Amino acid sequence: MSSENNKADAQIQAHRKQHQQQKTKLFGGAGIVAAITLVSIVLYYVLSAEPAEKIDAEIIQAEVSMSQADMAALREAFKQALIQYELNVQPSINEIIMMTDFRANKVSELALIKDQALTAFAQGAFVQSTQIIEELAQKSTILINAWQAQIALHVSNGQQAFSNDEMAQAQLQVNKALALSPSNIKAMALENRIYAFGEASKLMQELKIAVSENNWPKQVAVITDIIEIDPLRGELAQTLANAQAQHDKQQLAKYLGQAAQALRANALNKAQQLVSQAQAIEPNSKGAQALSAQIYQARAQQSLTATKKSIKSAAQNDDWTQVSALVSSTLAKHPSDTDLQNYRSQAQQVLSAKQSLAPFFAAPKRLADDNIREAASSAVQTAFLASLLSPSLQQQIENVAKSIDEYNKPVEVRINSDGLTYITVVGVGHVGEHAQKIISLNPGKYVLQGQRQGYRNKRLEFTVDANTPISLTLICDERI
């Protein structure tokens, strides 16, 4: 705002200099009375050669009698009015002056009025100068409105001619509008449309063909090109929207059809890509949702098939621990799959059998105990069916059975007596009366019993250890 104040002050100062050489120092000293000032001003305007600059003496007299504060307020009011005029009105007036002879007499009148306002202010007629500047603003506004109305009329006529395909008339009206205002946005926009009319007309013919062929992609492309060339063709906006909607439907159906075809060919990645393209057009497409579900199921089935293949391979490789792990993780997703259930049952049988044989396989010497050997035999019998699935289990069974046989092998037992005592192995058989006899007994615990007429019977408990021959002596030598 300070720069505008400076500009206003400069204009005022220029007018003051025009008269300063003719004036006496009426305002130079504080002791000069207002009456002398008034007389000097009146005499100046009486002698002036420019009638437009004569100021009403009564007005000057009234203003001279004002207080210094009132005078300062009037001066500031004028300056502000002048600043607003320079900011808001003068640029348009300048454009009218520079670019056209539009109502030249009115333009000249405005220049005179402005000069009067500045002169009145320079001579101290602050009230009158403010009134004149207000008159200037009003008349300037009237001129500007008429100027703008004339431009608008030319533009409107040009637009009407353009709508009727009368390009020569449209260009004439544009030229008239631009002659009045070379920077008028609407006139320049219409001129651009006129320049683009030839190309746009060709595209309109292409559009008619595309419409007749129901070629929606072509319609979208051509309309887009037309609007790009001529953005003001608002009438094509709805046509473009309809064409785009139809094009989207075609594309949606195309992508969904191709996705279904890829799904049938088990090309799941391609099918998913096509479904994603369809969803980009219509996110809530029921068809796309259905295909997505089918692709998910197909992926799950594909994954299940691959897992079953791995399970089968692990079973063939006798890796039943891996079989069990794969089955457990997969059954959580496919709990009703019979193949997985069968594999789980087989894995449980093999691993359970191996676990039951492990103690005997790891410490075969324990089989020397009858109870342990019996437990081992039972475990071997139980594991036999599962061994049909596992070569390693078969080997374990064979090793444990061999150990059982080793510890079940008969051991040589030498029995010594007097040849008169009749000896039996309780629960096993008779040895008879012999001084020495060798028999064979399986490892285990036994009782040797001796009998002789007239002598007390005797019993001898003994244990037969595997692979350990023993010698026993039993004689009935206590008389009854």
pLDDT at site 162: 81
Least confident stretch, 57-61, 87-91, 385-389: 57-61
When comparing pLDDT for 465 and 135, which is higher? 135
Q: List pLDDT tens digits, range 329-344.
A: 999 888 989 999 999 9
Residues contacting 391, CB < 8 A, separation 6+: 318
How far is 11 from 268, CA to CA, in rounded Å? Answer: 83
Q: List pLDDT tens digits, range 148-161.
A: 999 999 999 998 99
Count of other CB atoms within 10 angstroms of residue 276: 13
Q: List pLDDT tens digits, range 408-456.
A: 889 999 999 999 999 999 999 999 999 999 999 988 889 999 999 999 9
When comparing pLDDT for 145 and 230, which is higher? 145
pLDDT (average), residues 390-410: 89
pLDDT (average), residues 226-248: 73
pLDDT (average), residues 192-212: 74
pLDDT (average), residues 137-153: 93
pLDDT at 11 over 60: no
Are 413 and 474 within 8 A, CB to CB? Answer: no
In which band, very low, low, confident or very high, does the pLDDT at 366 lie, cut at 50, 70 and 90?
A: confident
In which band, very low, low, confident or very high, does the pLDDT at 234 lie, cut at 50, 70 and 90?
A: low
When comparing pLDDT for 57 and 460, which is higher? 460
Distance of CA 28 to the CA centre of its chain: 79
pLDDT at site 22: 35
pLDDT at site 13: 54
Least confident stretch, 133-147, 216-230, 279-293, 302-316: 216-230
pLDDT at site 17: 52
In which band, very low, low, confident or very high, does the pLDDT at 253 lie, cut at 50, 70 and 90?
A: confident
Computed over every residue of the chain, the mean pLDDT equals 82
Least confident stretch, 182-196, 216-230, 301-315: 216-230
SS (H, E, C) the chain: CHHHHHHHHHHHHHHHHHHHCCCCCCCCCCCCCHHHHHHHHHHHHHHCCCHHHCCCHHHHHHHHCCCHHHHHHHHHHHHHHHHHHHHHCHHHHHHHHHHCCCCHHHHHHHHHHHHHHHHHHHCCCHHHHHHHHHHHHHHHHHHHHHHHHHHHHHHHHHHHHHHCCCHHHHHHHHHHHHHHCCCCHHHHHHHHHHHHHHHHHHHHHHHHHHHHCCCHHHHHHHHHHHHHHCCCCCCHHHHHHHHHHHHHHHHHHHHHHHHHHHHHCCCHHHHHHHHHHHHHHCCCCHHHHHHHHHHHHHHHHHHHHHHHHHHHHHHHCCCHHHHHHHHHHHHCCCCCCHHHHHHHHHHHHHHHHHHHHHHHHHCHHHHHCHHHHHHHHHHHHHHCCHHHCCHHHHHHHHHHHHHHHHHHCCEEEEEECCCCCEEEECCCEEEEECCEEEEEECCEEEEEEEEECCEEEEEEEEEECCCCCEEEECCCCCEC
At 407, the amino acid letter reads Y
pLDDT at site 476: 95
Quote the tokens at residue 229.
């060339």
pLDDT (average), residues 85-102: 87
How far is 391 from 399, CA to CA, in rounded Å? Answer: 12
When comparing pLDDT for 11 and 331, which is higher? 331
Are 16 and 122 within 8 A, CB to CB? Answer: yes
Least confident stretch, 31-40, 262-271, 406-415, 471-480: 31-40
When comparing pLDDT for 257 and 210, which is higher? 257
State if pTM tops 0.85. no
pLDDT at site 50: 38
pLDDT (average), residues 187-193: 84
pLDDT at site 63: 53
Least confident stretch, 40-44, 339-343, 369-373: 40-44
pLDDT (average), residues 75-101: 88
pLDDT at site 465: 83
pLDDT at site 27: 29
